[in-house]
Amino acid sequence: MEIVNSKEVSDEEMIEQSFQELLNDYLKTKHRKRVEIITKAFNFANQAHKGIKRQSGEPYIMHPLSVAKIVCNEIGLGSTSICSALLHDVVEDTDYTVEDIENIFGPKIAHIVDGLTKISGGIFGDKASAQAENFKKLLLTMSDDIRVILIKVADRLHNMRTLGSLLPNKQFKIAGETLYIYAPLANRLGLNQIKTELENLSFRYEHPEEYQEIEEKLTATAAERDEVFNVFTAPIRIQLDKMGLKYRIVARVKSIYSIWNKMQTKHVPFEEVYDLLAVRVIFDPLNEEEELNDCFDIYVSISKIYKPHPDRLRDWVSHPKANGYQALHVTLMGNNGQWIEVQIRSERMNDVAEQGFAAHWKYKEGGGSEDDGELEKWLRTIKEILDDPQPDAIDFLDTIKLNLFASEIFVFTPKGEIKTMPQNSTALDFAFSLHTDLGSHCIGAKVNHKLVPLSHKLESGDQVEILTSKSQRVQPSWEVFATTAKARAKIAAILKKEQKNFQKEGEAILLDFLSKEEIGPEAASIEKIYKFHNLKSREELLTALGNKSIILGESDKNELKEKQSGNWKKYLMFSFGSGNKDPKEKLETDKEPQEKINPKKVLKLTEETIQKNYMMADCCQPIPGDDVLGYIDENERIIIHKRQCPVAIKLKSSYGNRIIATSWDTHKTLSFLVYIYVKGIDSVGLLNEITQVISQQLNVNIRKLAIETNDGIFEGKIQLYVHDVEDVKQICDNLLKVNNVKLVTRVES
């Protein structure tokens, strides 16, 4: 008699139930009902992954099923993408090949699965040197079929939802990578809900206490917000009913991560984040042609009820964002004295806002859409970035961030043609965006008919005319103020080409000089010359000779004809100096290697280890109580960073395999320097009160204090020595009790 394992039965039931849920969700969509191919893909993947478990202990097939559900429900893709999601790990984790997938499921699904396999294991592999290359691979694949990246984002979302089963150092790596790459990528693709969830999940793992604190405060103030929403929207509903529109009004509460981000950047407490609530008016247009006019009609009608903010009308209806986002944003003054943002959008616009480019496939499974213009523009940007010669992984990621995720500005040509540029673009960037020849010969620009230099930063609405001269050449200094990938790539390429020409000329000059002096072109002779001119390499010397910044003469001859004995003596000193170290010196430098760090364990930061083995990062100056992590640098030193420090975010994304989870184990014996920022209303004796609170009440040592007043407002910075975050909190709380002190917060420097 065969005994059936009840765990296996329950696993089988769980898998079958999950698959049925996926099918039911798919059948509710407007896509063609291709149930057969989805069932075939599920059976194939289920068989391929049979017996394999995830780290959480559940059957592996539950992961592809979950990703397929996200692809179907949250991104809105059809059967091709659902099948690809179900099969996305088959080629990487089993013996099946892409050819097998193609034979069974056809070339389209095979192509997407191949793209997903190439970029598996997150954007970055375990080796730091391969990271930028992997990212390029991801973007190249994406430019073939954008569904690859949409499924990859779904894959990352499910990984983030199940991150709890991983080790802490892995959690930091994945959360950091998510915040640095995937959340902005989801944003750029217009996947607004997914972007928000990725940010919140990353934040929850990196700063669990702050996350919980904000969550509790949001829950506590929910009833109050509901009341504000109901009172604010009641007259709007009456007005919209009069217009005869079919509509719905929904409240949008700022995400926990966005709230925390604002608290950090603006140095304000939760209670002073006033834009927690926004209102969305989503309507069905009377007819498709009137969609745009309806948005403005709604704006005009609600502006009669509440006063609009003159500087806060955002028209994304006439000029959609690069990710396809369309809406009209207006900020109105509510009866409670607070500004409330209202977002006006049609049901179609709302669809695109929530699902972005994925909405293009919503009704047409084979791909393609009515408006591929923005999509094509985005893919062109990616290709330009890939052409940018960035050797270093972090530089490359910064370029990606700079261009792909930048906010946009709208700039006009002299003829009134509109061009979209990344924020912070300069006149030089604009010139290169129009044409390489225009960029390489530009001498200046006229912005709104006023003459400006090439480094002038453009703003939305500027009309820009580029001025050129045939005699103008690309200058090395241009690399400093070019911000777009295209401009930087073109400038680097032109300078490189010029340098090669100079080096060619320089080589002819050098060989001519050496042959006249009857000296052979040995490396040692050439090294003498470039070192004599304080240059670092033969290439630098050749360039300098070619562009005539160096002219060889008598002094070079004398240097080359120096007596051989002098060289011999130098050589002897060098060889003895390097080979026979003083024994004491050997003891100093050849210390015993430190015990090997195990990145899988949580590193305890004690008084002894902090003083002996670890370094506190200068960029963020962490102190006990801060959420921190460790980074093993190239010299095997461990540097402690705050988890939200911009440098740490880059390190998590680019060198995730060197990240160590850390925790404090100190007991108020070590002192750390912190900076406290204070602001308030100036009054007599205020400085004396502040110093009394710090020095006498709290017995804290002040290192430096700088306060200045302007028009009755004072602000200043105080450098103090503290033991931990608790000390900082106590100092801030006590200073806020001082009359006329309105804001106290810890800052980086």
Where are the domains positioned within the chain? Answer: 6-161, 215-361, 374-486, 493-585, 672-747
What are the tokens at 450? 């006023």
**What class does CATH assign to 215-361?**
alpha beta
Q: What are phi and psi of 421, to 5 degrees?
A: -130, 155
- Give the pair of three-digit tokens for residue 44: 């194939």
Cα separation, 671 vs 647, in Å, equals 24
Listed in sequence order, the residues at least 6 apart from 743 whose beta carbon sits closer than 8 Å to its beta carbon are 267, 268, 677, 678, 679, 680
**Cα–Cα distances in Å, from 533 out to 255, 507, 530, 551?**
59, 16, 5, 11
CB 300 within 8 A of CB 310: no
pTM of the model: 0.66
Give pLDDT, residue 369.
36
Q: How much is the pLDDT for 695? A: 79
Euclidean distance between CA atoms 61 and 82, whole angstroms: 14
93 is catalytic: yes
Q: Which amino acid is at 282?
A: I
Q: Show the DSSP H helices in 317-470 as ranges.
A: 347-355, 373-387, 393-404, 427-434, 436-440
Q: For residue 699, what pLDDT is reported?
A: 74
Phi, psi of 404, deg, nearest 5: -75, -35
Edge-first strand order for the sheet with 603-605 is 603-605, 659-664, 628-632, 638-642, 614-616
pLDDT of residue 142: 58
Q: Tell me the C-alpha distance between 28 and 26, whole Å.
A: 5
CATH number of 6-161: 1.10.3210.10
Span 374-486 CATH architecture: Roll (3.10)
Q: Is 2 a catalytic residue?
A: no
3 state SS of 465? strand
Q: What per-residue confidence (pLDDT) applies to 404?
A: 56
Residue 101 and residue 324: Cα distance in Å, rounded?
A: 33
Predicted confidence at residue 290, as pLDDT, reads 84
> Which among 749, 735, 737, 748 has a CA at the least distance from the CA of 626?
748
Domains 6-161 and 215-361 share a fold: no
Residues in a beta bridge with 618: none
557-601, pLDDT tens digit by residue? 666 666 333 443 333 333 333 344 443 343 333 334 445 566 667
Residues in the chain where the model's pLDDT stays below 50: 1-4, 121-132, 363-372, 390-391, 393, 563-594
Q: What does the block give as tokens for 432?
A: 């290169």
Q: Give the pLDDT score at 651.
A: 80
Distance between CA atoms of 739 and 683, rounded to whole angstroms? Answer: 9
* Annotated catalytic residue, options 8, 12, 16, 92: 92
| Per annotation, catalytic residue among 11, 25, 58, 93 | 93
pLDDT at residue number 738: 87
Which strands make up the sheet holding 702-710, listed edge to edge?
702-710, 713-722, 672-681, 741-747
Tell me the fold of 672-747.
Alpha-Beta Plaits (3.30.70)
Q: Give the per-residue pLDDT at 523.
A: 72
Question: Which residue in this structure is represented by tokens 């990616």?
Answer: 382
CB 119 within 8 A of CB 134: yes
